[in-house]
Structure 1
Amino acid sequence: MSERSAAPGGLALVESLVNTLEIDTGADALDTADGRARFGLTEDEAVDARELRESLRAALLAHAGHPPHRSVTPLGELLARAPLVLTVDDGDGSAALAPADGRSLLSRVAAAVAESLVADSWTRLKACEAADCHWAYYDRSPAGRGRWCSMQVCGARAKMRRYRA
Structure 2
Amino acid sequence: MDNDPSNAAPGALEAVRRFVDTDDIYNGRDALTDVASATEWLVAEGMLDKDRPMTAHDLSALRNMRDALRALAAANTLGGQPPREAVDTFNDLTARHTASVRLEVGRGATAVSLEPREDGPGGVVARLAAAVHEAVLTGTWTRLKSCDNPECRWLFYDESRSRTARWCSMRACGSIVKARRYRDKQRRGTANTS
**TM range, smaller chain:** 0.5 to 0.7
Higher percent of residues as helix: 2
Cα gap change, 1:89 to 1:30, in 2 (>3 Å) = same
Shifted more, 2-11 versus 51-60: the winner is 2-11
Task: Determine the C-alpha separation between the residues in 1 that align with 2:19 and 2:42.
Answer: 10
Aligned to 1:52, which of 54, 62, 65? 65
Which amino acid in 1 is paired with 2:14? A
TM-score w.r.t. structure 2 length? 0.52
Q: Which residue of 2 aligns with 1:22?
A: 24
Cα RMSD for the two superposed structures: 2.8
Runs of 5+ consecutive residues of structure 2 not aligned to the other structure: 140-194
Q: Which residue of 1 aligns with 2:99?
A: 84
Q: Which residue of 1 aligns with 2:115?
A: 98
Contact 2:64–2:89 (Cα < 8 Å) also in 1: no
Cα gap change, 1:28 to 1:108, in 2 (>3 Å) = same
1:114 maps onto 2:133 in alignment: yes
Q: Which residue of 2 aligns with 1:157?
A: none
Task: Determine the C-alpha separation between the residues in 1 that align with 2:137 and 2:77.
Answer: 20
Q: By how many angstroms is 1:102 displaced?
A: 3.8
Pairs aligned (count): 119
Which amino acid in 2 is paired with 1:95? V
- Percent identity (aligned): 28
Q: By how many angstroms is 1:59 displaced?
A: 0.7
Which amino acid in 2 is paired with 1:48? A
Q: Which residue of 2 aligns with 1:11?
A: 13
Contact 1:36–1:42 (Cα < 8 Å) also in 2: no
Q: By how many angstroms is 1:94 displaced?
A: 1.6
What's the CA shift string for 1:29-74, capped at 9, x where partnerless?
12325324233274523222111101111111111128989x7562
Cα gap change, 1:119 to 1:68, in 2 (>3 Å) = closer
Q: Computing the radius of gyration over CA atoms, which structure comes out larger, 1 or 2?
A: 1
Which amino acid in 2 is paired with 1:77? D
